[in-house]
Structures are given as C-alpha cells and as structure tokens.
C-alpha cells in the first residue's frame, strides 16, 4: 500500500475540517474555494476571525507551499583530507590526483609561496595542498565526472568555491610556465 506524504495528509485533513466547520463564511463558499479556484486571495484569508477561516488559511498555505517544513541541509561530517592521499600506494595516488607523488610535491613546492595564496583576511583559507589536489583531479576528469556540481558534492564546497579554487591554481601554475 503506497504511503501518503505528510503534506498530502495535512491537505486532506484541512479540507475536511473546512467542510465540517461551515459551508459558507462571510459569503465565501468554502467548497468552491477549495476545489474550484486555484488562486486564492491571501489578504482576504488573513482577515480570519474564527476557526473556519483559520482552517481555510491553513489549507491555502498547505496547498500552495512545496514543503511543510524546510528541507534539511546536508552537513558534511568530514572535510577533504589530503593526508589520506599520501598514504595511498603510488598507482592509487596517480589515479586520484592524475599526477605522481613526486610530481604533486614538485608542483606544490613551486606554487606554495605565490602571492595569490597569501591570506590577508580573517577568513580561514583552504590549504594550498588541498586546492592543488582539487584542481589536479578536476583537470584529470572529463564528461559528467568533471562537472563543477560533482566536485562541489564530493569535496563539500560550494560550486563557486570549486570554480574559484580551480581558476586560481591554474593561473598560478601558468605564471610559472617558463620554468
């Protein structure tokens, strides 16, 4: 037997309460309001003085809102941990970072002192090694696996943060292209 959603059950209950309490309030036919008309005049309903009008208001709000309560935000319980990558075997590290251990350390040592990574604000910045790891993995991915949304979900960052980090690291690496 299919489960009825909480919102659908609330809507059914409120419709029934409206019909039970009265058929007509202040010249407004409740049944017509509930079943016939899509757009309700909210100002008219906000002037509710008795229980039947409050039921109508509750029904109106229930029928015209997507959720009965705000959806829960997904909270990350662990951030991206770069140390785990360095405990991997070489082949696994290459698969994850699209670079060897030594190559990653070489690039990191070249870019770590660049002025773009200096933090002159009170906000904590993501470590440079994590920014480099994210960028290398993103550059090594293609198709849907390389989408900004996939990386935002995987690393628990906002999509804009993924774009900014990737852009910044690429610009810093390009500034050393003569080396």
SS3 (DSSP) at 24: strand
The number of beta carbons lying within 10 Å of the beta carbon of residue 151 is 22
pLDDT of residue 123: 76
| pLDDT at position 166 | 92
The rounded distance, in Å, linking the Cα atoms of 179 and 79 is 33
Domain boundaries, the chain: 6-63, 82-175
C-alpha–C-alpha distance, residues 110 and 167, integer Å:
17
Using only C-alpha atoms, the chain has a radius of gyration, in whole angstroms, of 28
First to last CA, the chain: 68
CB neighbours (10 Å) of residue 161? 17
Q: What is the pLDDT of residues 124-139, one digit of tens each?
A: 888 898 899 888 888 8
Could you identify the residue written with the tokens 């829960």? 72
pLDDT at 76 over 50: no
Q: What is the mean pLDDT of residues 152-161?
A: 81
For tokens 């696996």, name the residue.
Answer: 145
* Structure-token pair, residue 140: 């090594």
172 pLDDT band (50/70/90 cuts)?
very high
């Amino acid at each position: 037997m299919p489960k009825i959603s909480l919102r659908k059950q609330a809507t059914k209950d409120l419709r029934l309460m409206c019909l039970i309490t009265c058929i007509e309030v202040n010249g407004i036919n409740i049944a017509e309001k509930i079943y016939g008309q899509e757009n309700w005049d909210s100002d008219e309903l906000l002037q509710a003085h008795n229980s039947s009008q409050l039921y109508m208001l509750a029904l109106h709000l229930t029928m015209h809102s997507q959720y009965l309560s705000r959806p829960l935000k997904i909270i990350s319980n662990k951030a991206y941990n770069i140390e785990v990558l360095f405990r991997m075997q070489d082949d696994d590290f290459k698969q994850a970072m699209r670079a060897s251990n030594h190559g990653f350390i070489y690039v990191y040592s070249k870019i770590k002192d660049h002025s773009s990574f200096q933090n002159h604000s009170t906000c904590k910045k993501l470590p440079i090694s994590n920014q480099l790891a994210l960028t290398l993995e993103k550059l090594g991915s293609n198709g849907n696996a390389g989408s900004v949304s996939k990386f935002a979900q995987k690393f628990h960052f906002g999509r804009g943060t993924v774009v900014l980090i990737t852009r910044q690291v690429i610009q810093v690496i390009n500034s050393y292209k003569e080396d």
